[in-house]
Structure 1
Amino acid sequence: MNNLTAQQIKDLKVLAEFISLYCHAKHAGEMTLDVNIPDILQKKGEAAETLCPECAMLLEHGIEKRVHCPMNPKPTCKSCHIHCYTSEYRLKIRKIMAYSGRRMILRGRVDYIWHYFTKS
């Protein structure tokens, strides 16, 4: 996993942030476990990410799919002709992206405004 491109790292950090935001808002109080994510995606000085089992599984699945994505450059999943995620995972990730994308913009993450309007 040390040979990730800068774009893959950026995409995976965004994915981890989106899933974390969603999980902590929607699944607070549920059992959590440490997520096995590459060190390069963890913020320096912070403990390992803890998520509910469902979100942890989705994040690990998303990391695996992004790392092995055959498309270069990678389009948004919505506009890609290859659907890596099964329909069940696609529904979950869409729900998370919609929820977390809006929350991040409202929290002042202006850099996501560009992504939100250009990738829709």
Structure 2
Amino acid sequence: MHPRVQREKRILETMIHTYCREVHKASDLCVECEDLIEYAEKRLLSCPFLKDKPVCSKCDIHCYNTKQKDKIKAVMRKVGPKMILTHTFDTIWYYYYKFIHKSQKAS
């Protein structure tokens, strides 16, 4: 697995764990959040771009279904702003990739 994809997978897991702890008040992941991690990882690993992957918000392929997209957006809205304090390096990389990559389409 490409290091960039590994980083993105780790960040997703961290964000969903934090969200579950704060919103669902669960010490361990609840079933809903476990399912979201599993779904997000499947989508990430099936991305046609992989090592050249843009951040999802910059991609022209919207591979999440509506229900899961709404869930991941809720996670990112709640936890995303806190990531700069708790995972500074990962946040800097996210914005680096967000601004250097143009929109991409699968060939």
TM-score (norm 1): 0.70
**2:55 and 2:97 in contact (8 A); partners too:** no
Establish whether residue 80 from structure 1 lines up as the match of residue 59 from structure 2.
yes
1:14: Cα distance to partner?
0.4
Establish whether residue 69 from structure 1 lines up as the match of residue 47 from structure 2.
yes
Q: 1:100 to 1:20 in 2, by over 3 A?
A: same
Alignment map for 1:104-115 (pairs within 5 Å): 104-107=83-86, 109-111=87-89, 112-113=91-92, 115=94
Alignment map for 1:38-77 (pairs within 5 Å): 50-72=28-50, 73-77=52-56
- Could you tell me the percent identity over the aligned residues? 33
1:21: Cα distance to partner?
0.5
2:102 equivalent in structure 1: none
For 2:83 and 2:61, locate their aligned partners in 1 and report how far apart those are by CA, in whole Å: 28
For 2:9 and 2:97, locate their aligned partners in 1 and report how far apart those are by CA, in whole Å: 19
For 1:91 and 1:117, locate their aligned partners in 2 and report how far apart those are by CA, in whole Å: 24
5+ long unaligned stretches in structure 1: 33-49
For 2:6 and 2:73, locate their aligned partners in 1 and report how far apart those are by CA, in whole Å: 20
Q: 1:18 to 1:91 in 2, by over 3 A?
A: same
2:18 equivalent in structure 1: 21
1:110: Cα distance to partner?
2.4
5+ long unaligned stretches in structure 2: 100-107
TM-score (norm 2): 0.78
**2:20 and 2:33 in contact (8 A); partners too:** yes
The answer to which structure has the higher helix fraction is 2
1:79: Cα distance to partner?
1.5
Q: 1:75 to 1:95 in 2, by over 3 A?
A: same
